[in-house]
Amino acid sequence: MSFINWTTSRLKRPWSISFQLLLIVNVTLGAAIIALLLFRYWNEIQTESHKRYLSLNDEAIAIHGAVNHLQHGHDLGEVQSYIDTVCHQMRHETNLCHHIAIKVGGQLLQAQSHEMESPELFSAISRAAIAKTHRSQGGTHKLVAASHAANGITVYVSENLDTVQQAIRLEVISQLIVLGLLGFLAAGIVNVVLLRVVGVPLHELMHTVDRIAAGNLGVVAPSFQSQEMDRLSKAITSMSLSLQKNDRERHLQMEKAQQIQEHLLPGSVSIPGLQMAHLFRPADIVAGDYYDFISLPDGTWLICLADVTGHGIPAAMGATMLKSLLLAATEEPPFDPVSIITEINRRFVQTVLPGNFASMFLAQWNPITCDLSWASAGHEPGILLKPNGESEILDSTGLLLGITTDAIWTERNRLLKAEEQVLLFSDGANETRDWEQTIFGRERLITALRECSGKIAVDTLNQIEHILSNFRSPQSLQDDLTLVLFKVRSASTEHQT
């Protein structure tokens, strides 16, 4: 079954031009040789049969003269003996199946030297003698015959057509061998020419195209002597150089977009009462993840992490839009998370393309009261880790951004204590997959955070990134990865600061 499946799959594949050309040329050449041999065989049969007929006709005339002479003064036994002798000699000299029959005086005499005489044989001979082709191929007797009649004597002479055809067949076979050798030589020459003129250039051009497809832009295709192949080569080279130029321009534009996005992200920020760390790893040059830390006029701080659906430029444009909307929403009160998310969603629905959405976790930190309030628009739940290792989940409180302007979110609050820490993350963290497509998951993320609880925030994020990298190895990032960690400072850390 495996061989059959392999053969079937091979037949379903497109054939190469070289193979098709060689197949067409060789099949055509072979068909032409076969047609030529069949024509030669048929023509030789016709020609040789006619020659045999003429020879048999001369023989019939000669025998008629002898029989006409013998019947005067001799009995029919002499005539029988004569035709037996002649038939025997002819068979001995020519190795052809001769037969002679004579009708004289109302009696039928047939040569008996080869014991072939029979009424059926004579009937076949007489039919062949008067036929237009002088042949009889029906029944059991296939022969060519001639006759001569005069003075009441009719002489019939025949030869077996199988013997004639066998002789011609041997001649045609010898011609087949010669033509086959010549055809093989001609086919070899044609095949070599086709391979050199078409096959080799096409293979080299395909190799060049494969290199371009693999990312080796700017590859120059080889030149050829044939006009068509050389034009195709120049077209491929032109395409390669054009792709290289466009790729360079695209990379420059992407690098510029990356610089713009990095400029939009916050740098080193010091938030009162918190030890901060953040990590941003785009899956592409630019990403759809966005995070920010904004100081508000009332002394509180906004901590934002958002994730726009998709990757690359479209997602990055959506992230840039979210930053603009967030800055606009924080220019005037109210500054609570629900009011800000509601305003962002109202404008986001009006500007974003249908079917594009974003998630956002927006927290407000009060450094005086250590109160954390948050609203989450369909974002991954935050993880709160206590100093004793216990964890809490800061759940989502409403729909994604961009679905409807009527969406409603609720606000949640919690008083944070010293050394408690909160991890915000995009889905590139918990949805990381290993080579078996196993998801890293939230529980592993909590475990990783718990294992690093004694470290400073920056070292904690670096360790979590290392754990995620080892989990997905040897695969690269499949989604944007953003981590934000803030840890409530204790009295000792405040004093150290």
More confident residue, 397 or 490: 397
Residue 441 pairs in a beta bridge with none
pLDDT of 497 reads 43
Give whole-number Cα distances, 415 to 303, 363, 374, in Å.
16, 13, 12
Dig out the tokens for 342 from the structure: 């509601």
Which helix H or strand E contains 54, and what residues bound it? helix 17-70
pLDDT of 495 reads 40
Per-position b or e across 63-99, b if 16+ CB within 10 A of its CB: bbeebbebbeeeeeeebbebbbebbeebbeeeeebbb
Q: Is the peptide bond before 119 cis (omega within 30 degrees of 0)?
A: no
Ordered strands of the 135-136 beta sheet:
107-110, 98-104, 153-160, 143-150, 135-136
Residue 155, phi then psi, degrees to nearest 5 = -110, 130
For 105-159, the DSSP string reads TTEEEE--TTS---HHHHHHHHHHHHSSSSEE-STT--EEEEEEEETTEEEEEEE
292 SS3 class: strand
Alpha carbon 335 to its chain's center: 57
Q: Per residue in 139-155, pLDDT tens?
A: 667 788 888 888 888 88
More confident residue, 98 or 154: 154
Dig out the tokens for 95 from the structure: 């190795």
Say if residue 7's pLDDT is above 70.
no
Q: Per residue in 292-340, pLDDT tens?
A: 999 999 999 999 999 998 877 888 889 999 999 999 999 999 999 999 9
pLDDT of 413 reads 95
Spatial CB neighbours of 247, under 8 Å, sequence gap ≥ 6 = 217
327 SS3 class: helix
Dig out the tokens for 186 from the structure: 């001609």
Say if residue 233's pLDDT is above 70.
yes
Q: How far apart are CA 63 and CA 54, in angstroms?
A: 14
How many percent of the chain have pLDDT more than 90? 35
Mean pLDDT of 343-368: 93
More confident residue, 294 or 30: 294
pLDDT of 496 reads 42
Q: How many CB atoms lie within 10 A of CB 21?
A: 19
Say if residue 458's pLDDT is above 90.
yes
Asked if 364 and 409 count as a contact pair (C-beta separation under 8 A), the reply is no
- Computed over every residue of the chain, the mean pLDDT equals 83
366 SS3 class: strand
Dig out the tokens for 215 from the structure: 């990312």
Give whole-number Cα distances, 112 to 69, 83, 106, 159, 181, in Å.
21, 9, 19, 15, 46
Mean pLDDT of 346-358: 90
Q: How far apart are CA 82 and CA 70, in angstroms?
A: 9
Q: Per residue in 206-228, pLDDT tens?
A: 888 888 888 888 888 888 777 87
Asked if 421 and 394 count as a contact pair (C-beta separation under 8 A), the reply is no
pLDDT of 399 reads 94
Q: How far apart are CA 215 and CA 233, in angstroms?
A: 18
pLDDT of 133 reads 76
Dig out the tokens for 327 from the structure: 């800055």
Q: How far apart are CA 394 and CA 138, in angstroms?
A: 102
Q: Per residue in 359-380, pLDDT tens?
A: 999 999 999 999 999 999 999 9
pLDDT of 94 reads 64
Dig out the tokens for 37 from the structure: 């041999």
Q: Per residue in 63-88, pLDDT tens?
A: 888 877 776 666 777 777 887 787 77
Give me Rg for the CA atoms of the chain.
51
For 184-212, the DSSP string reads HHHHHHHHHHHIIIIIHHHHHHHHHHHHH
Say if residue 203's pLDDT is above 70.
yes
More confident residue, 126 or 169: 126
Dig out the tokens for 180 from the structure: 């086959």
Helix pair angle (161-194, 17-70), 10° resolution: 160
Nearest to 191 by CA among 1, 26, 371, 438: 26
100 SS3 class: strand
Place of tokens 């290392």: 466
Place of tokens 């998310």: 341
pLDDT of 92 reads 67
Place of tokens 């989604």: 479
Mean pLDDT of 403-430: 94
Mean pLDDT of 106-117: 74
Q: How far apart are CA 407 and CA 55, in angstroms?
A: 112
Spatial CB neighbours of 45, under 8 Å, sequence gap ≥ 6 = 164, 165, 168
Dig out the tokens for 125 from the structure: 């001979």
Q: Per residue in 261-290, pLDDT tens?
A: 888 888 888 999 999 999 999 888 888 899
* Extents of the domains making up the chain: 12-166, 215-264, 266-496
Dig out the tokens for 117 from the structure: 């005489």
Say if residue 41's pLDDT is above 80.
no
pLDDT of 390 reads 94
Say if residue 342's pLDDT is above 90.
yes
What DSSP designation does 16 have? P
Dig out the tokens for 11 from the structure: 């037949």
Alpha carbon 26 to its chain's center: 27
Q: How far apart are CA 232 and CA 238, in angstroms?
A: 10
Give whole-number Cα distances, 386 to 362, 392, 393, in Å.
21, 8, 12
**Residue 197 is which amino acid?**
V
Question: Looking at the domain 266-496, which fold is it?
Answer: Phosphatase 2c; domain 1 (3.60.40)
Q: Give residue 13's pLDDT band: very low, low, confident or very high (50, 70, 90).
A: low
pLDDT of 305 reads 97
What DSSP designation does 137 have? -
pLDDT of 140 reads 67
